[in-house]
Amino acid sequence: MSASSHKQAAWQAHIITLFPDMFPGPLGTSLSGRALETGAWACRAHDLRAFGTGRHRTVDDTPAGGGAGMVLRADIASAALTETRNKAGDLPVLLPSPRGVPFTQKMAADLSAGGGAIFMCNRFEGVDERFIEAHDLREVSLGDYILSGGEVAAFAMLDAIIRLLPGVMGSAASHDEESFTDDLLEYPQYTRPASWQGRDIPDVLTSGNHGDIAAWRRARAQEITAARRPDLWARFQARNRVGAPKKPDDEKSG
Ligand code: SAH
């Protein structure tokens, strides 16, 4: 097979969920939808209900020790994950959870470089802790707020991963400049018209001087990061040994 006709194997997304009909959902449109059609990734939703017990295929039970809500049973969650692993092969498993480590651009990049991932989507108050221990699962959080289930978290994580897959986005180079890649948020963007409601595009961007444009963008990115995300800014400063961000006025006078 020649290099040009070599087709890369599809990145495999496996989702274990009580709502398999939700998938691919929003990921079936636009960029990720086209990538699904062209075979850059494949989406398989596995019905958790199929592993339930009794006439109603129950998957949850009341929490030991009392309290509100229901808990996904360890035996049922484990049966579903084991069967999915048998079908999917050795892929990383993510358990969306508000207790997890925050999902980051770095994680999205690492996962996109692999062969796929299994998302164990949970509802209710959570899942029996013994299931998490027995499978040594990585809990991953979308942020400090509570969703009603892991599915929406899986959509967000998958979206971040899929756009990084080879050939999915037009220009791979643009990834290098995006927010978070460098611990910096992105600089402001402008497009035509040149003047809108009395607001002009900054002169430097229409100057044609690529060095000046790059410097201006870098300075704005630093300024915005320092103002909005002290956590990222501290990390950027530590890595790059830089001081306070440059303001637009500093550059004009300096
Ligand atoms: N009682 C739990 C919240 C349960 S929310 C707690 O206080 O930690 C129901 C399910 O939605 C969770 O089990 C998880 O699968 C998913 N979920 C909720 N918030 C999430 C978040 N911020 N990130 C990822 N998954 C989340």
Does residue 3 carry a pLDDT above 60?
no
145 CB near ligand 1 (under 6 Å): yes
pLDDT of residue 178: 82
Identify the band that residue 2 occupies on the pLDDT scale cut at 50, 70 and 90. Answer: very low
Mean pLDDT within 112-132: 97
pLDDT of residue 253: 44
User: Environment class of residue 72 by beta-carbon count within 10 Å: exposed (0-12), middle (13-18) or buried (19+)?
Assistant: buried
The residue type of 248 is P
pLDDT of residue 173: 57
Does residue 251 carry a pLDDT above 60?
no
Q: What is the mean pLDDT of the chain?
A: 93
- How many angstroms separate the alpha carbon of residue 223 from the centre of ligand 1? 34
Atom of ligand 1 nearest to the CA of 95: 15
Ligand 1 pocket test: pick from 147, 157, 159 the residue with the most ligand atoms within 8 Å of its Cβ: 147
Please name the residue that has the structure tokens 């029996």. 128
139 CB near ligand 1 (under 6 Å): no
149 CB near ligand 1 (under 6 Å): yes
d(CA 128, CA 172): 41
- How many angstroms separate the alpha carbon of residue 70 from the centre of ligand 1? 13
Q: How far is CA 147 from the centre of its chain?
A: 15
User: Which CATH number does 11-162 carry?
Assistant: 3.40.1280.10
Ligand 1 pocket test: pick from 97, 128, 144 the residue with the most ligand atoms within 8 Å of its Cβ: 97
Does residue 248 carry a pLDDT above 80?
no
pLDDT digits (tens, 9 = 90+) for 79-100: 999 999 999 999 999 999 999 9
Identify the band that residue 44 occupies on the pLDDT scale cut at 50, 70 and 90. Answer: very high
Cα angle 48-49-50, degrees, rounded to a multiple of 5: 90
Identify the band that residue 249 occupies on the pLDDT scale cut at 50, 70 and 90. Answer: low
152 CB near ligand 1 (under 6 Å): no
**Tally of residues, the chain:** 254
Task: Give the percent of the chain with pLDDT over 90.
Answer: 85
96 CB near ligand 1 (under 6 Å): yes
Pairing of β 199-200 and β 195-196: antiparallel
Task: Give the percent of the chain with pLDDT over 70.
Answer: 93
pLDDT of residue 234: 96
153 CB near ligand 1 (under 6 Å): yes
CA-proximal residue: ligand 1, atom 26 (nearest)? 97
CATH of 177-240, one of 1.20.20.10, 3.40.50.300, 1.10.1270.20, 2.40.50.140: 1.10.1270.20
Q: Between these two residues, 176 and 82, which has the higher pLDDT value? A: 82
d(CA 88, CA 16): 12
pLDDT digits (tens, 9 = 90+) for 182-237: 899 999 999 999 999 999 999 999 999 999 999 999 999 999 999 999 999 999 99
Q: Between these two residues, 174 and 129, which has the higher pLDDT value? A: 129
Ligand 1 pocket test: pick from 95, 146, 148, 157 the residue with the most ligand atoms within 8 Å of its Cβ: 146
Q: Map out the domains of the chain as residue ranges.
A: 11-162, 177-240
